[in-house]
Amino acid sequence: MYGYCVIECTNLNNHVQLLLDSYHRLTGRVLLAASNEHADLLDDLNNSPFALVSHGTESDPVFNYGNQTALDLFAMSWDEFVALPSRYSAEQLSREERARLLHEVQEKGFIDHYSGVRITKDRRRFLIKKATVWNVIDERGNFHGQAATFDEWQFL
């Protein structure tokens, strides 16, 4: 069983499905083929070669999901990652650019081909390349936060 899924697995299943559905709704693309079983979907997403992260709607948004690729990149455990305000994933100098990006996503729904520098728990820097960032919205249009996925990165 998932170390991060012991207590609130149903909520995690629903959240992951919301991420995938909102990605498809906004971009017209499929991030991960649907599975009939939530456990298979979680396994497939957690073991995918791309990073997937999301944060909530707090005034200082906190990460609420990261697949294993993302956790490995940021050198964090699940508990560390989901306690981190997402702005701390960028260096201080990059935070203004990150804020501008998130505002643009809020206005447009999603953007493709984002590149930016992020930092790991142990302060290593890496460049995200060609990320898609989108608003996490449900079928009624309710806003639940923002998410990003990318499969290209380079440590600096």
Torsion on CA atoms 104, 72, 150, 115, rounded to nearest 10:
50
**Per-residue pLDDT, 99:** 79
State the Cα–Cα distance between residues 87 and 103, nearest whole angstrom. Answer: 13
State the Cα–Cα distance between residues 108 and 142, nearest whole angstrom. Answer: 15
The structure's pTM equals 0.88
Torsion on CA atoms 74, 80, 86, 91, rounded to nearest 10:
-50
Q: Over the chain, what is the mean pLDDT?
A: 88
With a CB cutoff of 8 Å and minimum separation 6, the contacts of 149 are 23, 31, 50, 51, 52, 53, 131, 132
- Mapping DSSP to helix (H, G, I), strand (E, B) and coil, where does residue 113 land? strand
Task: For the domain covering 9-155, report its CATH number.
Answer: 3.30.450.20
Query: For residues 140 and 115, is the Cβ–Cβ distance under 8 A?
Result: no
**Per-residue pLDDT, 2:** 40
State the Cα–Cα distance between residues 114 and 126, nearest whole angstrom. Answer: 14
Q: Which helix (H) or strand (E) covers residue 126, if one does? A: strand 125-137
Per-residue confidence in pLDDT tens, the chain, 156 aa? 344 443 356 688 889 999 999 999 999 999 987 655 656 788 889 999 999 999 999 999 999 999 999 999 999 999 999 999 999 998 776 777 777 888 888 889 999 988 989 999 999 999 999 999 999 999 999 999 999 999 999 999
Each residue of 114-141: pLDDT tens digit?
Answer: 898 999 999 999 999 999 999 999 999 9
